[in-house]
């Protein structure tokens, strides 16, 4: 990770004037924020945008594509935490409490919630993009458009999406918010004392236009942007519903979308290594780690 992070503050008090550490802060009905420090138990929930395939060595020998340098490992190393990284390629919110068959059916993974209990101190959560095949709709569209397989329609993917067997993307965001809330509530029930941080996804589609790395028909650009915004809105709604902290990565990644000069996202090709197609480069994980550590007061 670039740079270093300062030690945790000795006392953080929420909802009070900034007057230092009050002796009775712990009696203010939960106003005292948790301080996460060395030896605490940390469980990371996530899909491949957390696992970060291609950014470093695999952390274990399975098909989850989880690396030793992804943002959970960076956070754990910085704070001296005991990490259980449950992130896995292809995971959905259903895999929080249910077993997951990894892509191509190569491995069966236990529920990501396994190992979470009243002793868990910190949880990070970034899931939802794979629910209802949402993110795959964007990347499948780009790959097909690049090959010239979508004809001359100005909005072929928007049209196809409207008749998707899983329903149009825009009609699934409320369902996704319920999925996220349900998964987070299951975590909260198992770990009532944990600090829960929900992390949004970065900007993937540029704010205007498209490019060779993420080619889209002009009429499909707004549709693709709307999908990313939709699953981030669902994550924030789920976080708000259970009183978790939401860490936005959409605004911090502005200027680093797939088509940018300094992308945090690989597109149809991986430029310079350090990622896999349509997944984050190491810089995105570094930015997530920095934002989470900032949120924790480190």
Beta bridge partners of 101: 108
Average pLDDT over residues 176-197: 98
Residue 81 has pLDDT above 60, yes or no: yes
Its pTM stands at 0.87
pLDDT at 103: 72
Are the C-beta atoms of residues 36 and 247 closer than 8 Å to each other? no
Query: Is residue 76 within a helix (H) or strand (E), and if so which, with residue range?
Result: helix 71-79
pLDDT at 104: 65
Average pLDDT over residues 5-25: 32
Residue 120 has pLDDT above 80, yes or no: yes
Residue 116 has pLDDT above 90, yes or no: yes
Superfamily of domain 38-295: SGNH hydrolase (3.40.50.1110)
Look at the chain and count its residues: 298
- Can you tell me the distance from the alpha carbon of 58 to that of 65, in angstroms, rounded to the nearest whole number? 6
| pLDDT, tens digit (0-9, with 9 covering 90-100), for 128-168 | 999 999 999 999 999 999 999 999 999 999 999 999 999 99
Domain residue extents for the chain: 1-33, 38-295
Q: Which tokens go with 162?
A: 């409207």
pLDDT at 8: 29
Q: How far is CA 172 from CA 177, 179, 198, 231, 260, in A?
A: 9, 10, 20, 9, 29
């Amino acid at each position: 990770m670039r740079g270093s992070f300062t030690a945790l503050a000795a006392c953080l008090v929420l909802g009070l004037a900034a007057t230092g550490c009050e002796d009775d802060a712990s009696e203010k009905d939960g106003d005292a924020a948790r301080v996460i420090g060395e030896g605490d138990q940390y469980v990371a929930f996530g899909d491949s945008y957390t696992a970060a395939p291609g950014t470093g060595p695999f952390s274990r020998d399975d098909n989850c594509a989880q690396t030793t340098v992804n943002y959970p490992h960076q956070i754990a190393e910085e704070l001296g935490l005991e990490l259980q990284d449950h992130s896995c390629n292809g995971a959905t919110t259903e895999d929080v409490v249910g077993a997951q068959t990894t892509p191509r059916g190569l491995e069966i993974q236990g529920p990501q919630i396994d190992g979470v209990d009243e002793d868990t101190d910190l949880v990070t959560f970034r899931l939802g993009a794979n629910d209802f095949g949402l993110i795959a709709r964007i990347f499948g569209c780009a790959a097909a458009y690049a090959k010239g397989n979508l004809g001359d329609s100005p909005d072929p993917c928007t049209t196809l999406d409207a008749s998707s067997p899983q329903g149009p993307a825009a009609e699934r965001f409320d369902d996704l918010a319920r999925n996220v809330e349900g998964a987070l509530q299951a975590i909260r029930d198992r770990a009532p004392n944990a600090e829960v941080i929900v992390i949004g996804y970065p900007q993937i589609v540029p704010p205007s236009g498209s490019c060779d790395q993420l080619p889209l028909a002009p009429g499909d650009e707004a549709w693709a942007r709307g999908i990313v915004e939709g699953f981030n809105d669902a994550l924030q709604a789920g976080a708000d519903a259970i009183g978790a902290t939401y860490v936005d990565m959409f605004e911090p990644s502005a200027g680093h979308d797939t088509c940018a000069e300094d992308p945090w996202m690989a597109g149809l090709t991986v430029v310079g290594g350090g990622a896999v197609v349509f997944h984050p480069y190491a810089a995105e994980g570094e930015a997530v780690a920095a934002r989470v550590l900032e949120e924790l007061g480190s």
